Structure 1
Amino acid sequence: MFQTLLGGPFLTGYLLYLGAGSSVIGLVLAITTLVNVSQVFIAFMIQKLQSRKWMMILFVALHRLLWTSTGLIPFIFDKEWWVPVFIIVYTSAFIANAVGGVLWASLISDLVPARVRGRYFGIRNTLLNALGSIMLFVGGKILDSNPESTGFMILFILIFICAIANIVTFCFYPDLPFERSTENRLLPMMKKPFHDKPFMRSTLFLALWLLLQTMVVPLFSYVMLDILHINYQTISLLTIVQTISMMASFYVWGNLNAKISNKTLLFWTLPIIAGSCMVWGLLAFLPLLFVLMISHILLGAGVGGFNQLVFNFTIGDTPKSERPMFIAMYAAITGITSFLGPMIGGQIFNVIKELPDWVQQYGLQSVVGTIMLIVALTFGRKILKES
């Protein structure tokens, strides 16, 4: 509930309300991945911890409370400071989240046995996204039924309640023993993932893929709100369709994962994600909502599987004692390209403002989607697909 009401179309809408343009929105969407570079050093530092649980709770709490506090910006600062202060607080929140994320991934991989991991995360993510769908509808209804200032104030009250409840529930996690790395120096520990050639080849390819994907996918909400002028309620309904598709896919990918390797299934998600971008080109001759619904169904199925399988890949296909560094190295490498993607995409949208409307509405998305499909069927097939 917390993440749904603060992220996705609501994050884009709040940034537009604060006065941000496409390049700033691209920057904000990219910040969450750039800070993942710090996870390499975090993975080294946590080797010295006696308890993963309480350090995780500390940084999870910082993330939740800092991100929630962005709702106070219009009440405290003059309007010209709204966007700069948001960026500072938002960045601080996701630096804390980078620490909490490494600790959570390390702890949850020990909590969930490998033999049921694929199915467990499929069921878990299905339940979470079912609740997320309800909150998307509720949030869209609140924003469309009230002036923006009032609507966002109501949202942030709900967000604060959920943030506090979320922090409390983490206190019930068990504090399992921690199997530490066989290395106690930073550089030798960092070299471990680089010595695993299959892991590094897959990671570098997925970094390239995420560069292309994040050039357009995170800006879908910007295009719908600011270029196509679709209201919040409609965007919420489209996001609900995406979430329902994602929920169904979690169950399917989870069951397939019991029989087929993470890497092979990852390859199968790539053409689906590319297709979600390519179908925007159908706006040239098909109804707007029909095309956007098809795009969101494909995006839900593809990105849902991709995120679930990447997580299983980093915690399941890596040595247990070195897992925090493998997770951190993947996050750092893909974090750089996922940071550059929205930045490049935001700048491209600024440049193409002088071009015909169709280029902004669907041209960029369909061209990038075509490039993604070619990359998936060539490099992706060679690197990820296993016989």
Structure 2
Amino acid sequence: MLSAPRDPVRRTMFYSLLEGSMSQIFLNWTTGIVLTGFMIYLGAKPSELALVASVPLLAQMISPFAAWWAGRLGKRKDLTLLTAVLGRSLWVLAALLPLFNIPEAFRPTFVVLLVALSSALQAAAGTLWQAWMGDVIPEEERGKYMGFRTGLVGVIGMLGNLLAGWLLDRLPEPYNFQLVLLLGVGCALLGGYFLKQHHEPEGKVLRFKLLDTFALPLRDLNFRRYLGFAAYWMVAVMLCSGFVFPYFLKVVKMSFTMLALWTAVASISAMLLMPLWGAVADRWGNKPVLAIGTFVAGTLMPLCWMLGGITGNMGYLWAAAVFDAVAWGAIGPALFNLVLASSPAETRASYFGMFNLLTGFTGFLGGIISGALMEWFPLIFGNTHAYHALFILAGVMRASAWILLKPITETRAHRTRDVLRYIAQHLIPVRKF
């Protein structure tokens, strides 16, 4: 029988894989295709679809307050557990929504408000967890481990998505959504148990003022540059991400099962690619990895979405799933690790808090703008081409993000062209004739 290692660091790394897997199932079953389908069932308008996709980012603005509180306590574990479990348990209310005496016109708004509150608590937990794991996992293997962890939990989440898609297509509404949401909460509670098994190193009580939680990261010129990149990137991401799944469901006419298979292809590809990206980042730095990932996310991904919708050829959409893994397999761990590389250990929670606050606000702003554009674009381009116009605009912004990475300093970072050359020579199989 599989058992946890005795060494506290290795035990934490072991339990983090289990906790991440359960939490990923919860996240997949309360976001993405499930939440999109639930909101469409409730009759949500484009502006409400944009809101429900973007309010989790606005909720990240609570992160600096969580960092300050944890600093004064000197501990992170109990506060992380409290906020994570409470925030995820709130989704029981969404599952029971069809039973409540709430006017139908207000139900999408109720879900938006619930998502905002739940996300605020989870954002606080996420900020504390990031700084906590930064203290536990050795720096020399952090990139490889986090790449493997992200890929593994992605595959577990993919299997959960397949089950969710199967249930959503075969059970009548709203019972299908209710069952999936309740099972997701159950997985979240199990993840809380695994989180409780994590080791917490001895922490210092940091008696800095609440204002210092905001001021300390902003005094750092290099970190301010990174914040500028991250803010721009989140606007570019959220400008279209809330309408990708609605596009697949409404325009491409995917079933929930087919959409779950699409996410499965992306997750399997991510499982294979993320450890490789982590190894590349450990050797060449996170900055060039981030530059490559953001460029792919702004070019190949939206191009394949549009070609798939225009031609009806699903091959383009399967290719988009692979490019999704290529891009986010690079972006996700690199964004996280670049904050770690740019922050001192003692005040790391405040750096993560400021990063989450700014990216949360700008991501929410991008989502609000996307909702307004999708109310306006159909009047100009028609319903289908309104999506294409949004994808092109967001794609141009995403593909240009690497420019803002150039002035950021990272000790181990190499030039992007050198990393591309290394990838071409060592990671991409080339057959010689």
TM-score normalized by the length of structure 2: 0.84
**Would the aligned equivalents of 1:180 and 1:321 in 2 still touch at CA under 8 Å?**
no
Aligned to 2:47: 23
Measured against aligned partners, the alpha-carbon deviations of 1:239-262 in whole angstroms (never above 9, x if no partner) come to 111222222221111111220112
Whole-Å separation in 1 of the counterparts to 2:110 and 2:168:
23
Equivalent position to 1:4, from 6, 10, 28: 28
Tell whether 2:388 aligns with 1:362.
Answer: yes
User: Is the partner of 1:148 in helix, strand or coil?
Assistant: coil
Q: For 1:234, which of 241, 258, 262 is the aligned residue?
A: 258
Provide closer, same or farther for how the CA distance between residues 30 and 290 of structure 1 changes in structure 2, counting only shifts above 3 A: same
Contact 1:281/1:366 (8 A) holds in 2: no
Match of 1:259, SS state, is helix
For 1:377 and 1:51, the matched residues in 2 are separated by 37
What is the aligned partner in structure 2 of residue 289 from structure 1?
314
Q: Would you say the 8 A contact 1:70–1:90 is kept in 2? A: no
SS of 1:321 mapped into structure 2 = coil
Q: 2:324 aligns with which of 293, 296, 299?
A: 299
1:194-273 aligned within 5 A: 194-273=218-297
Could you give the per-residue CA deviations for residues 17-68 of structure 1, whole angstroms, max 9, x where no partner exists? Answer: 1221211011111111111112122222221114321111111111110134
Q: Percent of counterpart pairs with the same letter?
A: 23
Does 1:57 find its partner at 2:81? Answer: yes
CA distance in 2, matches of 1:252, 1:222: 31
Instruction: Assess, with a 3 A threshold, how the Cα gap between structure 1 residues 87 and 368 changes in structure 2: closer, same or farther.
Output: closer
Partner of 2:162: 137
1:68 and 1:3 mapped to 2: Cα distance? 14
Counterpart residue type for residue 191 of structure 2? N
Distance 2:305 2:183 in 1: 34
Aligned to 1:90: 115
Distance 1:285 1:152 in 2: 30
Sort the Cα spacing of 1:380 and 1:312 in 2 relative to 1 into closer, same or farther, 3 A. Answer: closer
- Specify which of 190, 210, 215 is matched with residue 186 of structure 1: 210
* Partner SS for 2:282: coil
1:328 Cα shift? 0.8
Equivalence for 2:131: 106
Return the letter of the residue paired with 2:348: R
Measured in 2, the distance between the counterparts of 1:50 and 1:326 equals 16
1:70 equivalenced with 2:100 (yes/no): no
The DSSP-based 3-state class of the residue aligned with 1:320 is coil
Residue in structure 1 matching 2:304, options 263, 268, 279? 279
Contact 2:252 2:309 survives alignment (8 Å)? no
CA-CA distance at 1:282 after TM superposition: 2.6
RMSD of Structure 2 on Structure 1 (CA): 2.0
Mind listing any 5+ residue stretches in structure 2 that lack a counterpart?
1-24, 416-433
Where does residue 342 of structure 2 map in the other structure?
317
Greater fraction of residues in helix: 1
TM-score, structure 1 as length reference: 0.93
Q: Which residue of 2 aligns with 1:331?
A: 356
Which is worse superposed, 19-28 or 244-253? 244-253
Once the two structures are TM-superposed, the CA of residue 278 in structure 1 deviates from its matched residue by 3.0
How much has 1:383 moved relative to structure 2?
A: 4.6
Post-superposition offset of 1:189: 4.1
Structure 1 residue 317, shift from structure 2 partner: 2.8
Report the Cα offset of residue 168 of structure 1. 1.7
SS in 1 for 2:253: coil
Residues 310 and 284 of structure 1, relative CA distance in 2, 3 Å threshold = closer
Paired amino acid for 1:202: Y
Segments of structure 1 that go 5 or more residues without pairing to the other structure are none
Q: Distance in 2 between matches of 1:98 and 1:367?
A: 28
Take 1:21 and 1:189, find their aligned partners in 2: how far apart are those partners? 38
- The corresponding residue for 1:80 is 105
Distance 1:315 1:327 in 2: 8
Aligned pair in 2 of structure 1 residues 40, 284: CA closer, same or farther (>3 Å)? closer
> Does the CA-based 8 Å contact 1:44-1:186 persist in structure 2?
yes
